[in-house]
């Protein structure tokens, strides 16, 4: 079982819709979770961090964490074509090594 | 605060050569990690250094090595390059959150 798993997609949504990206993790001791956005040919960019159960909102982005279910998600409201990218979920395990999911490719269709 | 910097940004080498990549972390960050990214394999963890000591290591052959200096700057070395080593090599530094540099794109001919 991988430490962090994501739906590989690809995911396509129309402009203005909500994009929902999901991630599960295996280490119950993990305390922090991160979402990165990576445009083609560029390096990953940190867009959200979440440490507590519940929702964390930042502009059009909402991260949701459910530690009981070992599940973290990212919602992108009012999706824009500029949101088209690969989104990576990441978490350090109890050994403090960062693990990344394989990424979900999102395309926002104008 | 300046971000993570990597040099060089692009590199072309031939099989059998060796290469050294450099990374300067965000000021105050003592952890530096290296990743290899290829289109088919995604982000693959190479190793992490913390206060000049290798703290974690991924599943890469011994041709891949690294080190960290007292100022937290890090270098990664790949010896006896193979065609399959062509990739984007990413450095990341962290305290709690991890931030990536722009990467070095290595092409092996």
Instruction: Indicate yes or no: CB of A100 within 8 angstroms of CB of B43.
Output: yes
Percentage, residues of chain B above pLDDT 90: 92
Answer with the residue of higher pLDDT: A108 or A31.
Answer: A108
Instruction: Indicate yes or no: CB of B96 within 8 angstroms of CB of A32.
Output: yes
Pairing of strands B87-94, B31-38: antiparallel
With cut-offs at 50, 70 and 90, classify the pLDDT of residue A9.
confident
3-state SS assignment for residue A91 = strand
Q: Give the mean model confidence (pLDDT) for residues B85-90.
A: 97
**Residue in A43, A90, A97 closest to B90 by CB:** A43
* B26 vs A contacts (CB less than 8 Å): none
Nearest Cα residue to B1 out of B104, B95, B105: B95
**A50 → chain B, closest CA residue:** B97
* φ, ψ of residue B8 in degrees (nearest 5): -75, 175
Nearest Cα residue to A48 out of A59, A40, B70, A39: A59
**C-alpha pair distances (Å), B48 with each of A46, A60, A86, A97, B29:** 18, 33, 24, 8, 12
Q: Give the mean model confidence (pLDDT) for residues B48-57.
A: 94
The predicted-structure confidence for A37-91, as pLDDT tens digits, reads as follows 999 999 999 999 999 999 999 999 999 999 999 999 999 999 999 999 999 999 9
pLDDT score for A107: 97
């Amino acid at each position: 079982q991988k430490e962090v798993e994501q739906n590989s997609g690809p995911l396509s949504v129309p402009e203005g819709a909500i994009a929902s990206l999901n991630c599960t993790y295996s280490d119950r001791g993990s305390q922090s979770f991160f979402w990165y956005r990576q445009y083609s040919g560029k390096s990953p960019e940190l867009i959200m961090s979440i440490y507590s159960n519940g929702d964390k909102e930042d502009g059009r982005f909402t991260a949701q964490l459910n530690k009981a279910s070992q599940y973290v998600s990212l919602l992108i409201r009012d999706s824009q074509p500029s949101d088209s990218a690969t989104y990576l979920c990441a978490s350090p395990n109890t050994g403090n090594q960062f693990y990344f999911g394989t990424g979900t490719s999102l395309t926002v269709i104008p | 605060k300046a971000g993570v910097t990597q040099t060089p940004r692009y590199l072309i080498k031939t099989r059998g050569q060796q290469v050294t990549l450099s990374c300067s972390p965000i000021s105050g960050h003592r952890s530096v990690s290296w990743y290899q990214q290829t289109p088919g394999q995604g982000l693959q963890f190479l190793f992490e250094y913390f206060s000049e000591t290798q703290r974690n290591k991924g599943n890469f052959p011994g041709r891949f090595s690294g080190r960290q200096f007292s100022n937290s700057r890090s270098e990664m070395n790949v010896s006896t390059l193979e065609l399959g080593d062509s990739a984007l090599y990413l450095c990341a530094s962290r305290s709690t959150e991890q931030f990536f540099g722009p990467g070095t794109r290595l092409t092996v001919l």
